[in-house]
Structure 1
Amino acid sequence: MSPLLVPVGLVIGLALGALGGGGSMLTIPALVYVLGQQPGIATTSSLLIVGTTSLLGLAPHLRAGRVRVTQGLMFGALGTAGSYAGSLLSSHVAPAVLLTAFAGLMLVVATVMLVKSIRGSGPGEAADLSREPIVTLRPVTCACPRLVKLLVAATSVGLLTGLFGVGGGFLLVPALVLALSFPMPVAVGTSLLVIAVNSATALLSRVSTIGTDLDWPLIAGFTAAAVVGSLVGGRLASRIPPKVLSRTFAVLVLAVAGYTAASSIPALV
Structure 2
Amino acid sequence: MIAATAIGLGLLIGLSLGALGGGGSILAVPVLVYVIGQDARTATTSSLFIVGIAAVTGALGHVRSGRVRWGVGLAFGIVGVAASLAGTAANRLVDADVLLLVFAGVILLAAAGMLAQSRSSTNSPPERRLVHSGVGAVEAAPRAGAEAEPEAASSVTGGRHTGRRWTGAQAGKIVATGLLVGFMTGFFGVGGGFVVVPALVLALRMPMQQAVATSLMIIALNSASSLLARTGSADFDWSVIVPFTLAAVAGSLAGKKVADRLSGTTLTQAFAVLLIAVAVYTGTDSILGLAG
TM-score by length of 2: 0.83
2:268 pairs, out of 246, 264, 268, with: 246
Identity %, equivalent residues? 48
What letter matches 2:56 in structure 1? L
Question: Aligned-pair distance for 1:150?
Answer: 2.0
Distance between the aligned counterparts of 2:116 and 2:84, measured in 1?
29
Checking the alignment, whether the CA contact within 8 Å between 1:127 and 1:243 is kept in structure 2 is no
Question: Aligned-pair distance for 1:115?
Answer: 2.0
Q: Does 1:216 align with 2:254?
A: no
TM-score by length of 1: 0.90
Deviations 1:215-269 (A, max 9, x none): 1121010011001111111111011111111111111111111110111012223
Question: Aligned-pair distance for 1:188?
Answer: 0.7
2:210 aligns with 186
How many aligned residue pairs are there? 262
2:136 aligns with 134
2:185 aligns with 161
Distance between the aligned counterparts of 1:127 and 1:70, measured in 2?
25
Question: Aligned-pair distance for 1:209?
Answer: 2.7
2:155 aligns with none
**Deviates most, 224-233 or 181-190:** 181-190
Where does the alignment leave 5 or more consecutive residues of structure 2 unmatched?
Answer: 140-149, 151-166
Alignment of 1:28-43 (within 5 A): 28-43=29-44
Question: Aligned-pair distance for 1:7?
Answer: 1.2
Alignment of 1:50-199 (within 5 A): 50-122=51-123, 127-130=130-133, 134=136, 145-178=169-202, 180-199=204-223
Distance between the aligned counterparts of 1:111 and 1:243, measured in 2?
14
What letter matches 1:110 in structure 2? A
Checking the alignment, whether the CA contact within 8 Å between 2:19 and 2:252 is kept in structure 1 is yes
Distance between the aligned counterparts of 1:182 and 1:118, measured in 2?
22
Checking the alignment, whether the CA contact within 8 Å between 2:118 and 2:136 is kept in structure 1 is no
Question: Aligned-pair distance for 1:127?
Answer: 4.3
Q: Which has the larger radius of gyration?
A: 2
Checking the alignment, whether the CA contact within 8 Å between 1:14 and 1:229 is kept in structure 2 is yes
Checking the alignment, whether the CA contact within 8 Å between 2:11 and 2:251 is kept in structure 1 is yes
Checking the alignment, whether the CA contact within 8 Å between 1:10 and 1:225 is kept in structure 2 is yes
Question: Aligned-pair distance for 1:180?
Answer: 4.2
Distance between the aligned counterparts of 2:118 and 2:202, measured in 1?
21
What letter matches 2:276 in structure 1? L
Q: What is the Cα-based RMSD across aligned positions, in Å?
A: 2.3
Alignment of 1:217-232 (within 5 A): 217-232=239-254
Question: Aligned-pair distance for 1:84?
Answer: 0.7
